[in-house]
Amino acid sequence: MSSVVKVSAIASYLPEKVLTNTDLEKILDTSDKWIVQRTGISERRIAVNESVSKMASLVAQKLLKKSGLSGKDINLIIVSSMTPDGTSPTAAAFVKDNISANNAFGFDVNSACTGFVYALSIGEKFARNPDYKNVLVIASEQNSKYLNWTDRTTSVLFGDGAGGVLLQRSSDKNDVESFLGEQMDIKYDKAITNAMLKDSNELPTNKIIPISTLKMDGRKVFEFVVTKVPQNINTLLEKTHTPINSVDKLILHQANKRLLPLIEKEINTVGVYTPCDIQKYGNTSSASIPILLDSVYNGQDADDTVILSGFGGGLSIGSMLLHLKGRF
Ligand code: COA
C-alpha cells in the first residue's frame, strides 16, 4: 500500500510589536489611504526581540503542544526562510536545539515567498517513509531587517512572523496529494532581488556588501502573478482531475489583497472561499501561507479540500492540493 501524508497540526507565531500605516506616515511620504486602497494592509508585525530561529522555535513548541508530542518524537525539521539569521548554523539546527529534538536532523530551504510550499513538498516526500514519522515544516521571516525604510514602494508591504505544520503518515486516501512547482527563466526579469546584479550578465557581482535591501518592481510582479499563478493552479487541477467546485478553500500567498479576486476570476472559483489576513500582518513572505492556515483553522474542525499557492522571488510559483481533516 502506498503511504500518504497528512497535516496533523498547524501553528503560528506573530511578534508583539505592531507597526500601523499611521506609524509609517510619520517616517515616509505615504498615507494609510494609499496603503489600504492599493494593498489591503492596515498594519504589520515587526520582530524586535525575536530572530528567525526564535520565531521558528516558538512555532515548533506550539506544534508539539498541539499534537501531544515531545521533541524526541520529531525526525526531521525543515525551515523555509528568505531572511535567515545567518547561513550557518541553520534555523533548523536552532529549532532542533530549542525543542531538544535529539532524534532529528534538519535543514533550511529558501525560495523567497514560495519557500513554504516547496518545503512542504519536500517534507511530504520524507514523511511517506516510515523512518520519518513526525516531520516539522516551518516558515519564519524577519523581512523588516532587509527593508530600506526610506523606500515607500517596498517597506510598507512586508511584515515579520512564522508559521508551520506537523506532517505524519496517514491511512486516509487524499491528504497531501499533489504539488506543482514552476520557476520562470531568470531573464524573465529581475523584478524582485536583493542580490547585486551586474547589468551585463545575470550573475551576482562579487563586491563585498554587508546586506542588500529588497527591491521589487511591483507592477511587473503584479502582472506575473495575475497571469502565471492561475495557470499554475489550473494545471494542478487538470493533472489531478480535480474539479474546482470540489475545492473548499484557496489559500494564497498574502502579497496584495487586490490580487485575490483577479486570481479567483481566472480559475472560476465559484463557491471557493479565499481567506485573507493581509490587513493584520502584511506580506510575511514564505510564512504567509502557514500563518493564514492557522488564522483560518485554529481550534476548528476541518474536512476541507484546499489549494495552497505561493509565488514570488525567482520568479517562482508552487501550488499544492491537500485535504485537511481533523481539529487544528
Ligand atoms: N505611498 C504612496 N504612494 C506610493 C507608495 C506608497 N507607499 N508606493 C508607491 N507609490 C506611488 C508610486 O510612486 C506611483 O506614483 P506615480 O503614479 O506618481 O508614479 C503610484 O503610487 C502608483 O505606483 P504603482 O507601483 O503603480 O502602484 P501599484 O498599484 O502597482 O501598487 C504594489 C504597488 C507593490 C502594491 C503592487 O504593484 C503589488 O502588490 N505588486 C505585486 C507584489 C507581489 O505580488 N509580490 C509577490 C512576491 S513578494
Q: Which domains does the chain have, with CATH numbers?
A: 1-328 (3.40.47.10)
Residues 191, 315 contacting (CB under 8 angstroms): yes
Q: So what's the pLDDT on residue 175?
A: 66
Atom 9, ligand 1: which residue's CA is nearest?
153
pLDDT category at 173 given cuts 50, 70, 90 is low
Distance of CA 217 from the midpoint of ligand 1 (Å): 8
Tell me the C-alpha distance between 273 and 225, whole Å: 19
pLDDT category at 1 given cuts 50, 70, 90 is very low
> Which residue shows C-alpha cell 500601523?
20
Say if residue 94's pLDDT is above 90.
yes
What interhelical angle do 288-297 and 115-127 show, nearest 10? 70
Q: So what's the pLDDT on residue 241?
A: 92
Atom 43, ligand 1: which residue's CA is nearest?
255
pLDDT category at 68 given cuts 50, 70, 90 is very high
pLDDT category at 214 given cuts 50, 70, 90 is confident
Which residues partner with 305 through β-bridges? Answer: 323
Residues 162, 141 contacting (CB under 8 angstroms): yes
Q: So what's the pLDDT on residue 82?
A: 95
- Residues noted as catalytic: 113, 253, 283
Our mutation pick for probing the ligand 1 site, out of 26, 113, 155, 222, counting the most ligand atoms within 8 A of Cβ, is 222
Q: So what's the pLDDT on residue 217?
A: 87
The ligand 1 site (C-beta within 6 Å) comprises: 30, 34-35, 38-39, 113, 152-153, 156, 218-219, 221-222, 225, 255-256, 283, 311-312
Residues 81, 111 contacting (CB under 8 angstroms): no
**pTM value > 0.85:** yes
Q: Measured from the CA of 153, which atom of ligand 1 is nearest?
A: 8
Q: So what's the pLDDT on residue 226?
A: 95
Say if residue 12's pLDDT is above 80.
yes
Neighbours of 203 (CB within 10 A): 11
Lowest-confidence pick of 56-60, 168-172, 177-181: 177-181
CA atoms within 13 A on the CB side of 81: 31
Q: Give CA separation, 167 vs 6, 37, 97, in Å.
A: 6, 38, 20
Say if residue 211's pLDDT is above 80.
no
Q: Give CA separation, 192 vs 30, 186, 224, 314, in Å.
A: 21, 11, 11, 7
Q: Measured from the CA of 158, which atom of ligand 1 is nearest?
A: 48
Q: For 80, phi and psi rounded to 5 degrees?
A: -95, 130
Say if residue 204's pLDDT is above 80.
no
Amino acid at residue number 94: F
Q: So what's the pLDDT on residue 291?
A: 98
